[in-house]
Structure 1
């Protein structure tokens, strides 16, 4: 087990940041730790990297206890914090060589991570001359220097332009083929683009933990229909698999179904049976982002 978290809670004074959080991550797997700002993502990351200790509960990384085996955890984890700390006056290779001495790794490994993270073309530049995307690459290269089994990335794509996003996503996906990658984000699209699995946290509690394909299958489906006459919502609620009905304007209704099956035929049959004419009938699939909003706004 690459990461094992059991009943972890963290309090800052009277403020609860995490409340009995539990989950496990296998290798190789890319897991997105998703939640709104202030949900507890960075707190969990800091606990897993031994920067802070939990108030209660237990966590292991690569089999090492984060409290009893603190140094071994640090040696086996690569960490890229949200605010990537870099020495801007150093050249890329200088910076990596400095950290390689700390990790006691060979010069050959420096060349390997430069090639792996696509930094070769920029190697002649100081870090301060690099774009945000290439600075993130330097941070990833540094996190990979000691060839850790687990990579923990806190908001790795924040502030990147669309081209940089694509490049960093692909890099993380490549790394995730052989290592465990645990990354936090508040952007659902990032999880969809990179991850095998998503753990959603809200107000310090886990509200979902599913494989991404399962999460996609559980999406809602919304059918937008306009009749030629007003219909009581109670009648539409009797349709199979209906979750909710909203009369958006006039004779237009948004009917949300808890299924992936195309339910337009059921709406058509309803209209026929009730001698209604359909003026428009469209399917509107709820996105993963919509599901995320539902999970993180309807929680107590």
Structure 2
């Protein structure tokens, strides 16, 4: 549904996109992540026909974004980070106007407006002037505008900026409900939102695609360096936190060891592997040998924040698969 091949963009002497390649299949909800200045906005502007690429190719819904720009734009619902609205227009008036520009038949515009007003929680403000709305409501108007023509592809750039936690949760549910019928490319800095809504990730940094795959697959590839958390009691042996750290640090494959109190005389130790290793058996052997009491042992799966940070920093070679 979205195909990007060797997309490159120069701004004068500045390279913004460096042969970016990724794909989004029909019906997928894909998170598009990257730090500021990574090339996200440039990519979205090229996909939506607002900006030409220097080289490479991009297709949306089977159409070339450069050679068939109008056809591509008609198949996309685009919500930019800063939604351009007409403050002097009323909400339903604006949505009807935009529906007309998007070739929604006149006989169907009222129903289209009613549908997106309902889906985006705008019923109480549909007759209000847009200029009188809060930031959160203006964001919802922008989301409704992107949906009003019921396009097959949605490109959403920071859709929850300005929303309160309840509205963010409701927006997540809406985005998830769009999957299947719509193909969604979601750019956001709110990583928990991306984790809840998206099955796939595309991560870009320094203009290059660093990873493109299923979220669970990316986590699986990083799972080999999962931290081990142990809760133990050492009071009967007289060993303190420093001795626990020293003993665990001597285990083959152990890297950083952190210890902290866990309450009630228990100690929590967090051991990070130095390489690809599961340290649980070796650490439990140390506990048994030293006569310590063990209450709990488990591995910490990488969070999306850790996954993102490691990939962007180049600390994890996860490869690139089609999203």
Give TM-score, length-normalised by structure 1.
0.86
Correspondences of 1:192-203 after superposition (within 5 Å)? 192-203=195-206
Measure how far apart 1:252 and its partner are.
8.2
Distance between the aligned counterparts of 1:39 and 1:190, measured in 2?
Answer: 20
Contact 1:233 1:246 (C-alpha < 8 Å) held by counterparts:
no
Distance between the aligned counterparts of 1:112 and 1:159, measured in 2?
Answer: 23
Aligned to 1:116: 119
Aligned to 2:226: 221
Distance between the aligned counterparts of 1:190 and 1:294, measured in 2?
Answer: 19
Distance between the aligned counterparts of 1:13 and 1:90, measured in 2?
Answer: 39
Unaligned runs of 5+ in 1: 239-243
Q: Give runs of ≥4 in structure 1 deviating > 6 Å.
A: 249-252, 258-261, 278-281
Query: Is 1:294 matched up with 2:316?
Result: no
- Give the direction of change, closer, same or farther, for the CA distance of 1:128–1:281 in structure 2 (3 Å limit): same
Aligned to 2:256: 246
Distance between the aligned counterparts of 2:281 and 2:249, measured in 1?
Answer: 19
Name the SS of the counterpart of 2:45 in structure 1. Answer: helix
Name the SS of the counterpart of 1:298 in structure 2. Answer: coil
Q: Over aligned residue pairs, what C-alpha RMSD do you find? A: 2.8
Measure how far apart 1:297 and its partner are.
2.0
Contact 1:93 1:123 (C-alpha < 8 Å) held by counterparts:
yes
Measure how far apart 1:278 and its partner are.
6.3
Measure how far apart 1:92 and its partner are.
0.7
Name the SS of the counterpart of 2:181 in structure 1. Answer: coil
Unaligned runs of 5+ in 2: 261-266, 317-323
Measure how far apart 1:192 and its partner are.
0.5
Measure how far apart 1:203 and its partner are.
1.2
Aligned length: 292
Aligned to 2:321: none
Max Rg structure: 2
Measure how far apart 1:70 and its partner are.
1.0
Distance between the aligned counterparts of 2:180 and 2:270, measured in 1?
Answer: 41
Aligned to 1:241: none
